[in-house]
Structure formats: structure tokens, C-alpha cells
Amino acid sequence: MIARFIGRKIGDTVLYPVAQPFPKTPKDYGIEYRDVEFKARDGVQLSGWLLNEWGKATVIMTHFGYRANRFGYQTKHQPMLTKPYKKEIEFVKVAGRLIDQGYTVLMYDMRNHGISGKSKLACGTGGYDERFDVLAAVEFVGTNESTKDKPIGLLSYCMGLNATFYAFEEDQEIFDKYNVKALVGMQPLGNADFLKAYGIKGAIYRHADTHYKKHTGVALDYPIIPAVKHVSVPTLLCQGRKDPWTNLDFVNKAFEAIPAEKEMHWMEEPTHRFDGYNWFYDHPKKMVDWFNKYL
């Protein structure tokens, strides 16, 4: 009974992201933007910012899930499982590095995060349900007056990267149709590996998995690698080698499964997973070079 109770509580940590406020907008960073809304094919209304609207090409930023939003992540909203992190994650700063290169940037909240709408499931699915958000973002950029007919790049983090992989599997043609040319992916991680990294196993893990599956229809370890095999654009995959939360074997298998042109970039310095989410602000060269090459 105790294992079941604990398992359900742990399952809830990945099912139900706690909404974070927006302490800043791009205007606070001196960046011009406008609020945008677009709808996923299953009807979920998504909310975002379109920065530097008339740039030479557009990079779509898909944030990591579970308490993050398009702004990023505030330390005061850390969930119970995570090792405390002392720095704010501010994705607008990363967007600024791209704007310096002349790009438009679309930043948006995935379903059940930020101020985007709730899905029918009303819970996080590790990227599986969120695949529809990535497809919607690509279609929005591809049809919006200021960005259509221009190349598109994808910058996807963690669960957002899983969602991107699943989106390629769901509808690879949409990426060709709207001129998606490159992907930069940061630290993919499945729900099962996230929990196992914390030593959650045995009966508690089984109860967490049962609880999660009841709400989402998929298991915590729902496979990602088959989806990766559908990626059709040049991909830069980035991972902190000392990341204590991840499964490096999974990351290596994901890289091996990418059928397109690819490069693996190991970040040697970070010792906390969240260092990777801030990485491209302090170390933009790899990201910028990849997009400049393909966009």
C-alpha cells in the first residue's frame, strides 16, 4: 500500500506540470516581439512569442517539459525530485544569440504548460502527445505572412526534443513541405530514465508506471528510438557527459539511429543537467554554426 501511494505521487510529478509565471517578456531583454497563437491539429490552443519577426529564417524553440515554459525555469519552482539548481534558465537569452545572427525565433508553450491550452489528457506524456505541438509550430511558421517561404530550424530541449522526434514519426512530410532544414537537439531523456536516475525501482516504479499509463495510455518507457529513425534533417545532438540524470547509452543509441547528416557534441564541463539548458547562451558557437550552415 505504501509503495502504491509513493508510486502514484512520483507518477504525478511527471504527469502534472506546475504552471510557472512569466517574470519577463522579450521586451525586458530589449527584443521586439509579438504575441501569437496557433492551434494543434487535435484542437489544443498554443501560445507563443514571435521575436524579430522579419528575419532571414526562423528557429522554433521547443522547451523542456515539467515546470518549464517558453520563458524557461525559475529556481523557486523546482519539483521535489530535482537536485537544487541555483541559476534561472532564461531561454530568451538563447534566442538573443540567434537574433544576433539575423534569425526570427518562435518561442511557445507546449500543451499543459505556460499559458497554452490543456489537452484532453491534461497531463504530460514525455513528448508523445506533445508531438502535435511541434507540428503545429512548424505549420504556423510555414504559413505566417512574415516567415513563410523561408528556411526553418528546430531548437528542441529534452522532452521538447522527444516531441520533435515523435513529430517526425507522425508526419515527416510536413517538415519537407515547410522547408525545415536543420535540428539542434539538447539532452533527450525518457521518463523511465529520469525516474531510474533517482533510484526509483521495484514496486514503487511499477506503481508509478501503472499510474502514468492509466492517464496517458503509454508506459514510462514508451520507445523513442523508432521515432528517431524518421528524422530527415541534419541534426546536431548535444549532451552533458556528466549529466547525473541521463542514460548515456540511450543518448548514444539515439544518435546512431538518426538517418540524416549528424554530429554529436559532448559538453564536458556541466555537472548538473540544467547547465545544458543554459549552455547555448554562454557557448552559442556550435548552435549558431549549425544553423548558419543549413539555414
Q: CA 208 to CA 186: how far, in whole Å? A: 26
| pLDDT at residue number 80 | 52
For residues 155 and 161, what is the distance between their CA atoms, to the nearest angstrom? Answer: 8
Among the four given CATH numbers 3.40.50.1820, 3.40.50.720, 2.160.20.10, 3.30.420.40, the one describing domain 2-294: 3.40.50.1820
Helices marked H in 200-260 — which ranges? 202-216, 225-228, 248-257
Please name the residue that has the C-alpha cell 541521463: 246
pLDDT along the chain (295 residues), means of 10: 75 76 92 98 97 98 89 72 72 97 98 91 89 98 97 97 98 97 95 82 85 87 96 97 91 97 94 88 97 98
Cell numbers found for residue 60: 522554433
Beta-strand runs (E) in 91-174: 104-108, 152-157
Residues in the chain: 295
Round to the nearest angstrom and report the end-to-end CA distance of the chain. 55
Residue 78 cell numbers, joined = 523546482
75: β partners: none
CA angle 291, 66, 212 (to 5 degrees): 120
Model pTM score: 0.95
- pLDDT for position 280: 96
In the chain, where the domains are located: 2-294
How many Å apart are CA 215 and CA 218, to the nearest integer? 8
pLDDT of residue 2: 80
